[in-house]
């Protein structure tokens, strides 16, 4: 990773979507991600109006945004939109923003929710934050593989 990752502090992870953005929270010291919420917003302004109070409450030191790619690794339309969202997070809150491959995280989140008996409307409201949790946990696991002697 090109940017330095702090040793301690809160992290907010995002599964960006044009209508729904899932958000997860975790800590760099413990490196366990938890689903937090799903923001329903059709515009950038609505999205940031919902995200700003979460940033104020949790006081993250970095952000992690899921990077959508085709299964062959190539970028597509949502890849650029997620990068733009990450740049906007960085610009608005002046915090480093890391991108983490989100390939198949929504499929994995759906599988876990179905195993827990979550279907229908409850599933729709939970799948994005569960995907954000998987994205953030993947970032933490990646950190652990780079430096296994740190922290946990």
Q: How far is CA 79 from CA 9, 43, 49, 50, 107, in A?
A: 27, 18, 23, 22, 17
pLDDT digits (tens, 9 = 90+) for 76-118: 888 999 999 999 999 999 999 999 987 655 555 555 544 555 4
What does each C-alpha distance from 59 to 12, 68, 92 come to in angstroms?
Answer: 9, 26, 14
- Calpha distance 37→53 (Å, rounded): 12
The ranges assigned to domains in the chain are 10-146
Retrieve residue 121's tokens. Answer: 């409307």
Q: Which CATH number fits domain 10-146: 3.50.50.60, 3.40.1210.10, 3.30.420.140, 3.40.50.460?
A: 3.30.420.140
Length of the chain: 152
Fill in the DSSP letter of residue 78: H
What secondary structure letter does DSSP report for 89?
A: H
Instruction: Answer yes or no: are the C-beta atoms of 140 and 33 closer than 8 Å.
Output: yes
pTM of the predicted structure, to 2 decimals: 0.85
pLDDT digits (tens, 9 = 90+) for 120-134: 555 466 778 888 999
Tens of pLDDT, residue by residue over 12-51, are 999 999 999 999 999 999 999 999 999 999 899 999 999 9
């Amino acid at each position: 990773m090109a940017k330095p990752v702090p040793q301690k502090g809160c992290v907010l992870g995002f599964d960006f979507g044009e209508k729904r953005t899932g958000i997860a929270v975790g800590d760099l010291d413990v490196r366990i991600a938890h689903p937090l919420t799903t923001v329903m917003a059709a515009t950038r302004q609505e999205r940031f109006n919902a995200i700003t109070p979460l940033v104020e409450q949790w006081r993250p030191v970095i952000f992690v945004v899921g990077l959508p790619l085709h299964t062959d690794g190539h970028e597509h339309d949502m890849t650029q939109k997620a990068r733009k969202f990450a740049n906007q997070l960085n610009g608005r809150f002046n915090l480093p923003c890391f991108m983490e491959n989100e390939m198949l995280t929504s499929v994995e989140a759906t599988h876990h929710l179905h195993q827990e008996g979550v279907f229908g409307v409850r599933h729709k409201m939970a799948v994005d934050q569960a995907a954000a949790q998987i994205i953030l946990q993947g970032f933490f696991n990646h950190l652990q593989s780079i430096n296994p002697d740190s922290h946990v």
